[in-house]
Amino acid sequence: MGKETQSQLFEIGVYTLADIARNPNTGETVSAKQRVHEIIEAAKLADEVGLDVFGVGEHHRLDYAVSSPQMVLSAIAQVTSNIKLTSTTTVLNTVDPVRLFEDFAILDLISNGRAEITTGRGVFVESFPLFGYDFNDYDALFEEHLNLLMEINKNEQVSWQGKFRSSLNNAEVAPRPDQKELPIWVGVGGTPLSAQRAGRLGTGLTVAMIGGTHDRFLPLINAYYEAGKLAGYMKEQMKVSVSGHGYIAATMEEAKDEFYPFYANYIQTINEQRGMRSGVLQREVFEQWTVPESVMFIGSPDEIVQKVLRQRELYGHNRFMLQTDIGGVPFDKVAKTIELLGTKVAPVLRREINK
């Protein structure tokens, strides 16, 4: 992000981490092939209903379908026209920044300037031994790789020296993207130091709001704004994206009834993946996670609008991203949420915010 003033129109989008989960209602599990094709169809629908952004995550496990967001986003670029295409997130600790930039520069050329990179440190650790990195260097790798990525994004030729990869001496990094610079975001979940790093470097900030209430995440956003101010950026120049889980239906009760089995399945699966013993998420606990103070986006279109507007008052963010295809939610229900988000929620948010 440059230090020139940028347009800050509010953006609405959806993202996927491409988990492959058993449908708790039918017992069926889709293949990785079907999952990837459904993601492409979801992005096509998101573009058709006028959403602004579509994101694809990165994992290196058999229970996830996408290890290379840029490959899937390139396929999506061919069936969409306007929607921005971002990773959510790229595990920057364990990818070479030069290769990453070149891949997304190609995506930017294919999509006529719609590519973005959202970087993160990653929750799972499989990519470290897979690509020959030491998990003990977890944060140092991210810091070094992010700094190099930012340098490459600004300059066609780069001279650089670091700790974890070979030096660059007037290296040409090609091709260059269609945009002057690729938009780069840093994803955070709960670490103020990560938010401060994003502010210091002038990247966008993506806050993954997975559980809790609104006030839990305000310190992260404040830390980002403060660090950016100290680095010489004006608040209007800084970009904040809020992302979270959710499901939209005609009424709150319908949304809760339809989404609960899948979300309970998701919570149990995630806990097992992290080596935690966990029973089934009780319905009464799930109900508590859907109240207005919660960061879960579950309800009717009007209720989603009100929750996003409330968050906007708190955070002053520029982008809202919804994840709905988790825990085995079938594609027809994913499509319903995307359609309601694009046709019922987004127009009201734009009218209220972009005045």
* Residue pLDDT, tens place only, 146-168: 999 999 999 999 999 999 999 99
DSSP secondary-structure letter at 214? G
Give the pLDDT of residue 215. 84
Which single residue is written with the structure tokens 């020296």? Answer: 161
Task: Classify residue 210 as exposed, middle or buried by CB count within 10 Å of its CB (0-12, 13-18, 19+).
Answer: middle
Give the pLDDT of residue 2. 38
pLDDT tier, 5 (very low <50, low <70, confident <90, very high otherwise):
very low
Element at 229 (helix H, strand E): helix 218-230
Mean pLDDT of 121-138: 92
Strands 157-160 and 168-172 turn out to be antiparallel
Q: How many CA atoms lie within 13 A of 269 on its CB side?
A: 17
CA distances to 22, 23, 102 from 266, rounded to whole Å, are 10, 10, 34
**Is the predicted pLDDT of residue 15 greater than 80, yes or no?**
yes
| Fold of the domain spanning 11-81+102-114+186-353 | TIM Barrel (3.20.20)
Mean pLDDT of 30-46: 98
* Distance in angstroms (rounded) separating the CA atoms of residues 168 and 122: 26
Give the pLDDT of residue 278. 66
* Distance in angstroms (rounded) separating the CA atoms of residues 205 and 11: 14
With a CB cutoff of 8 Å and minimum separation 6, the contacts of 190 are 216, 220
* Distance in angstroms (rounded) separating the CA atoms of residues 338 and 42: 8
How big is the chain by its Cα radius of gyration, in Å?
20
Task: Classify residue 189 as exposed, middle or buried by CB count within 10 Å of its CB (0-12, 13-18, 19+).
Answer: middle
Give the pLDDT of residue 3. 36
CA distances to 34, 52, 299 from 296, rounded to whole Å, are 27, 21, 9
Mean pLDDT of 258-263: 97
Task: Read off the pTM.
Answer: 0.95
**Is the predicted pLDDT of residue 274 greater than 80, yes or no?**
no
**Is the predicted pLDDT of residue 316 greater than 70, yes or no?**
yes
Produce one character per residue of 111-126: b if its CB has 16 or more CB atoms within 10 Å, e if not: beebbbbbbbbbeeeb
Domain ranges of the chain: 11-81+102-114+186-353
> Who wins on pLDDT, 355 or 105?
105
pLDDT tier, 32 (very low <50, low <70, confident <90, very high otherwise):
very high
Average pLDDT, the chain: 94
**Is the predicted pLDDT of residue 30 greater than 90, yes or no?**
yes
**Is the predicted pLDDT of residue 7 greater than 80, yes or no?**
no
pLDDT tier, 1 (very low <50, low <70, confident <90, very high otherwise):
very low
Give the pLDDT of residue 49. 98
pLDDT tier, 237 (very low <50, low <70, confident <90, very high otherwise):
confident
* Residue pLDDT, tens place only, 166-192: 999 999 999 999 999 999 999 998 889
Beta strands in 249-315 (DSSP E): 297-299
Give the pLDDT of residue 6. 39
